[in-house]
A and B are shown apart, each in its own frame.
Chain A
Amino acid sequence: MKPAPVTHDPLARIAHATLLYEGGVRALNDVSLTLRRGERVCVLGPNGSGKSTLAGVLAGLLAPDEGTVALAGERVLDDGRVDVEAYRRARRSLGLVFQNPDDQIVTSVVEEDVAFGPENLGVPSEEIGRRVARELHRVAMEDYAQADPTRLSGGQKQRVAIAGALAMEPALLVLDEPGALLDVRGRRSILKVMDRLRETGTTIVHITHFMEEALAADRVIVMLHGRIALEGAPREVFARQEELRALGLREPWTARLATRLSELGVDVTWTCDDDSLLADLARMSRSLSCTMPPPPQASCDFAAEKTDPVIALDGVSFSYRDASQGSRPALDDVTLAFARGRTTAVIGQTGSGKSTLLRLLCSLERPDAGRIVIDGIDTADRSRRRELLSRLGYVMQRPERQLFAETVLEDVSFGPRNLGLDTTEARRRAEGALEQVGLAELAASSPFELSGGQQRMCAIAGVLAMRPAILIMDEPTAGLDPHSRERIMSILRELNRRGVTVVQVTHSREIAVRADEVVVLDQSRVMMHGSPREVFSYQNEALLRESGLGIPTSMLWARRLREEGVSCADGPLTMDELARSVACGLGRAARPRGVEKGGER
């Protein structure tokens, strides 16, 4: 291939690529992109913007309908003409890891899975052995070489998938939202692996919904409607706040803090770099001649009265009957009460018993010991099961898996019809629920034609249509873009306002701090239970970190600010609280702007 004029020796070059899906959807629309060797590029964009399609094109798995594509020195697509042989050759130097680790692991033993790619490439057997050992070490999975992948956590599986791709020694590794379905710890471990890859000179294309992850990239690309909407160094891209917001994206945390502070009248320079914002604030604080009075503590501490528990667990223990999983109980002597009309976030790392707790609450399992009473009904009481289920709504992990009907409306009215409601009423409720999640205009489409985010909403509507008094959700926002996450959170707030009790398992501290109560599970037991302010405290930091969680970013920031002599609130749970207290400390709080609890600040 002739070297491109701009950079010498580009690894991949896409020129004017357009890719159409069935029904004429333009997944890529005149996209041009050049990747330099050793570069780390981050691709952002809302659900359905064409990011995954771009990933497929770069990994050599999808050929655009128009345009020219050169990958790893092979001209695979020349003005719309596909060269199949060139694609085959190019793919040998391209690796892809995508969202769901379950689909990427093809054998039942970790090390054999890592060997699968090199075997396909015809690598000699001694060399395969070397590569397997090297890559398992790189992703810190060498202790699991003989393990069965289906028994690993999501983060571990994803690391195996990455090792499997790396063992093929690709020149380009495409990671398509590798952390979307993982918990905080799992995501962190993936980022660590990516940092290590930089040393090897592998070119990386990383697709993500987490803006903070983009900061480590050399270049950021923002996709919208199949086009590249923004492109540049992370700092440049994130500085274009207005455009980002219009695209439904958010800036990284630090940048949002800077923006919020200047809204509050604090004259900081906009930045996405922690240290420079910190230095800015420290300088401003030092220049204050007199010391300001300490800022008032935000009054978020609601009364500790625990009125009318709608769900009560008393000494509940449970273990799965599966000899190979060992006899450790999944829940061990758990006593808990959930107050009526409250929202509770259940947090804890993978395997701490969160999902088991939800299954027990939904009476999908019965406790081995102890009892669970929901709204006066014992979950072990089979005779009142129907009555119990009519009050509960359960949104499982990735609930879009349960869609089945021919139309969205039909799917959503499945629950109401099962409740014995007549067709008109069931339809009315279904339409109401669709309105609530913003899918009203898609009621007549097939649920299988919706985008991933819309499918999630459809499945949630199916539960809401049953008008449950208690809503139980297992990570409802996992894998969604910030916009859809915010949408689900606002639906939950609205339901809660109408008196629905909400219990949700989450990996997001941002969501947990906005709940009324937080339950922390660790190793099958309740480690903490209290208001977000009680749970997320500096005293609990070590404990929370041990269980893979840690305290909110705002609190980490507050501590650093105090160390620098900037006066601010003691344990701010949200960015807004932090920003206000800093502004107040600097004497700039006179202008009240923005609404408290409103957005995700």
Chain B
Amino acid sequence: MALRLGIGQYLPGSSPIHRLDPRVKVTGALALMVSVFFITGPLQLVLGYACVLALVAAAGVPVSRLVESIRPIVIVLALLAVFNLLFIRTGDELWRWGALSVTTDGLRVAVIFSLRLVIAVIASSLMLLTTTPTQLTDAFDAGLAPLSRLGLPGHELAMVFSLMLRFIPTIADEAQAILDAQTLRGAPLSDGSPARRLKAVAPMLIALLASSIHHANGLSRALDARCYAGGATRSHWHPLRMRRSDWLALLAVAAYVVALVGLGQLR
């Protein structure tokens, strides 16, 4: 239970964001994520935050839920920020203590680089929170269709991705259970020297691998029983259809990206 991850945790709802075509959501999220690399100044940062926070509000996702799903990555980003702050030596020195120093460049990089990445994290988790795995699969399926035309397994890749989302919590629970059981059989997983611990990981990984294979066998049986045979003959309960709102959303994303990049040129 402790290992549960925030990925693939769809939050049911009927907001305008939920109702968007998943292809639009995936494209939009990707655009938003890539566009953060154009952010170099505070003005752009403000624009970026205004945009994602507006999206969060429109999606009706509770802030607590959002924070929960992005927290682990944000902590990593915060650590990176501290490193940047202390180890970038260019620019004017603002403060110094022994070997440590903070410079204007360091400060700028630490603040802006970290904050802009948070925008990307929010955008991606907003997409995962408002899109069901099936919709995601359909979207990836559509996106990977060119691959299928080249004879590559586009649809199958999308399906594998969707199953991965579905099984992460199951395997995580399993890992926790095995970890607990072996700890109680005296495996030095949480104490002892690093070498001993490393050695103790092997039994746990083998057991996890074996039980994952077991799950995989069960899953393949289930897929066969439900007549899954790849993409060609499938129908869709909710076929993807671009509506006016979807085109408008795409247009809005494009406008945002242009504005963001333009703002960068102004300086």
Contact = CB atoms under 8 A, between A and B. Distances in A.
A116 B226 contact: yes
B233 interface: yes
Given A98-B221, A124-B235, A107 B132 contact: yes
Given A100-B218, A122-B234, A106 B210 contact: no
Given A123-B235, A403-B207, A419-B186, A165 B181 contact: no
A436 interface: no
Interface in A379-404: 385-386, 389-390, 392-394, 396-397, 399, 401-404
Contacts of A117: 226-227
A164 B226 contact: yes
A199 B257 CA distance: 59
A150 B167 CA distance: 9
A114 B170 CA distance: 19
A120 B162 CA distance: 15
Contacts of A95: 225
B181 A105 contact: no
Contact of A108 (B68, B132, B181): B132
Contact of A91 (B4, B132, B204, B224): B224
B163 interface: yes
A399 B169 CA distance: 19
Contacts of B12: 109, 146-147
By CB atoms of chain A within 10 A, which of B178, B207, B223, B225 has the most? Answer: B225
A394 B236 CA distance: 47
Q: Is the interface of B mostly helix, strand, loop or mixed?
A: helix
A389 B227 CA distance: 48
Contacts, number: 175
A112 B134 contact: yes
Contacts of A123: 235
B166 A108 contact: yes
B260 interface: no
Interface string A451-466: 0000000000011001
A394 B178 CA distance: 12
Contact of B170 (A124, A150, A394, A403): A150
Given A61-B224, A120-B234, A122-B234, A415 B185 contact: yes
Contacts of B181: 394, 396, 399, 401-402
Contacts of B93: none
B194 interface: no
Contacts of A118: 235, 237
B191 to A, nearest CB: 8
B185 A132 contact: no
A109 B224 CA distance: 20
A258 interface: no
A103 interface: yes
Interface stretch (A270-278, A318-326, A518-526, A581-589): A318-326
A109 B236 contact: no
A119 B184 contact: no
Interface string A4-35: 00000000000000000000000000000000
Chain B's interface size range is: 35 or more
Contacts of A148: 9-10
A364 B68 contact: no
A490 B20 CA distance: 60
Interface string B8-38: 1110100000000000000000000000000
Given A108-B10, A362-B180, A405-B203, A418 B185 contact: yes
Contacts of B183: 364, 389
A531 B221 CA distance: 45
Contacts of B243: none
Nearest to B6: A324
Nearest to B162: A107
Contacts of A129: 237
Contact of B229 (A120, A168, A385, A399): A120
Given A106-B166, A148-B9, A322-B4, A122 B235 contact: yes
A115 interface: yes
B9 A396 contact: no
A107 B237 CA distance: 14
Contact of A107 (B134, B170, B174, B221): B134
Contacts of B134: 107, 109, 112, 115-116
B180 A396 contact: yes
Given A103-B215, A415-B185, A128 B10 contact: no
Interface string B202-233: 01101100110011001101111111110001
Given A107-B166, A168-B227, A463-B185, A128 B235 contact: yes
B8 A108 contact: yes
Contacts of B238: 125
Nearest to A382: B191
A113 B10 CA distance: 14
Contact of B237 (A115, A359, A389): A115
B1 A322 contact: yes
Query: What 3 pairs between A and B have smallest CB-CB spacing?
Result: A103-B218, A418-B186, A146-B12
Given A61-B224, A108-B9, 12 more contacts: A91-B224, A106-B219, A107-B162, A109-B10, A112-B133, A148-B9, A320-B1, A323-B68, A362-B180, A396-B177, A399-B181, A402-B181
